[in-house]
């Protein structure tokens, strides 16, 4: 009997090994450069882009850990959660909170989001596709990142929802602005939401739309009797988050604000799972809470290139053969865009100041993401 059990275990191990080899071969065949594990840290990033192609170079470097180690003393930056308005809700029932968000290449934003919301969220639901928003194949990054030491502490909470598109069914075009691929990912997120228990609370958005932990706590656990609301009637609602447009000393006047708060971005939302069936993914509601950070226009050079190649409203087919000069210009343009429709923080209207928020993890590790302040990131010097 023991011999038979041993043989079964060997067969199972062999099957797992074969599956691993098949998966690895598939990923390597699509993205060979990423798996070369070379030390390219001393190579100018834009020179690597020109020599090896923008997608391969950017993918390789966007997965690198920041060279600055984590601070071990963050207590003073992580404030105690308590109701800022109203009082704690009377309900003592456990609340299941699902943070459902779309993810493509925003690795640094994913790390910040995990640290910001971990103590409140029951499950992080990463919705990822095997194609980008231009219709080209992309690796499933979470399958790689879940083994990275900076993400291991969170992976037990992660539910990975994959939109697996047959690669022979789509025709990519890097010059076209095509919303279909993004909208299909939205529908995948809503589809997951609809299968949750009706009273589960879900937050919907993109990975770089990071609601502050205090705003999320207020929305779920605090009753504001002055506005006649309580925990059973306060949902759905929208979050108005700060949109610095890539520079943490400025604020952007957005095209999608919370009403009456022009310097906010109002699309992350909170609702009961039962409310998903009658709503859309991108939806603003009359009720709102302020506080959070939209890490858009993140000028980390590899991410700049990936967004230019794969973003729905970006793209140029000729950039598949990107030169060093084109790469440098794109990074320079990203940094310059912050000063168009933005103002310094001391010019933000008082009614919008509650939305201005820097995640405690960023404040505790100010040199970990230098691109947020348009400073040089040693992972990708251009």
pLDDT for res 2 = 42
Q: Assess contact for 122 and 196: CB atoms under 8 A.
A: no
pLDDT for res 33 = 42
What would the CATH number be for the domain defined by 78-299+341-370? 3.90.550
pLDDT for res 240 = 97
Which residues are CB-neighbours of 86 under 8 A, at least 6 positions away?
A: 222, 223, 224, 225, 226
pLDDT for res 7 = 47
pLDDT for res 133 = 78
pLDDT for res 91 = 62
Indicate the domain borders of the chain.
78-299+341-370
Q: What is the mean pLDDT of each run of 10 residues along the chain (382 residues)?
A: 44 38 38 45 89 94 93 90 82 85 96 98 96 86 96 97 86 72 90 95 97 96 62 80 91 93 96 93 94 95 93 74 94 81 92 96 95 93 93
Q: Assess contact for 79 and 218: CB atoms under 8 A.
A: no
pLDDT for res 28 = 36
């Amino acid at each position: 009997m023991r011999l038979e059990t041993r043989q079964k275990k060997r067969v199972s191990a062999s099957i797992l090994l074969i599956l691993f080899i098949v998966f690895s071969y598939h990923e390597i065949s699509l993205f060979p450069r990423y798996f070369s594990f070379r030390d390219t840290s001393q190579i100018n990033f834009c020179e690597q882009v020109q020599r090896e192609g923008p997608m391969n170079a950017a993918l390789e470097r966007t997965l690198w850990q920041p060279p600055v180690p984590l601070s071990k003393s963050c207590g003073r930056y992580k404030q105690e959660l308590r109701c800022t308005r109203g009082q704690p809700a009377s309900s003592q029932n456990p609340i299941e909170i699902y943070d459902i968000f779309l993810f493509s290449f925003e690795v640094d934003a994913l790390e910040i989001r995990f640290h910001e919301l971990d103590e409140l969220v029951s499950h992080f639901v990463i919705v990822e596709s095997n194609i980008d928003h231009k219709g080209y194949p992309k690796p499933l990054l979470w399958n790689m990142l879940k083994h990275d030491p900076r993400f291991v502490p969170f992976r037990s909470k992660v539910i990975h929802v994959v939109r697996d598109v047959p690669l022979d069914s789509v025709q990519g075009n890097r010059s076209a602005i095509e919303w279909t691929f993004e909208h299909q990912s939205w529908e995948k997120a809503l589809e997951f939401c609809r299968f949750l228990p009706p009273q589960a609370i879900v937050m919907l958005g993109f990975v770089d739309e990071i609601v502050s932990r205090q705003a999320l706590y207020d929305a779920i656990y605090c009753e504001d009797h002055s506005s006649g609301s309580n925990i059973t009637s306060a949902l759905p609602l929208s979050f108005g988050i700060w949109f610095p447009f890539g520079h943490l000393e400025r604020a952007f006047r957005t095209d999608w604000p919370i009403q009456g708060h022009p310097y906010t971005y109002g699309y992350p939302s909170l609702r009961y799972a039962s409310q998903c069936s009658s709503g859309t993914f991108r939806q603003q509601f009359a009720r709102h809470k302020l506080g959070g950070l939209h890490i858009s226009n993140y000028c980390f050079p590899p991410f700049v290139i990936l967004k230019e190649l794969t973003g729905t409203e970006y793209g140029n087919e000729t950039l598949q053969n990107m030169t060093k000069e084109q790469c440098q210009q794109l990074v320079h343009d990203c940094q310059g865009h912050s000063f168009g429709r933005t103002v310094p923080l001391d010019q933000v209207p008082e009614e919008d100041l509650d939305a201005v928020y820097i995640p405690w993890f960023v404040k505790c590790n100010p040199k970990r993401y230098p691109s947020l302040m348009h400073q040089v990131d040693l992972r990708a010097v251009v």
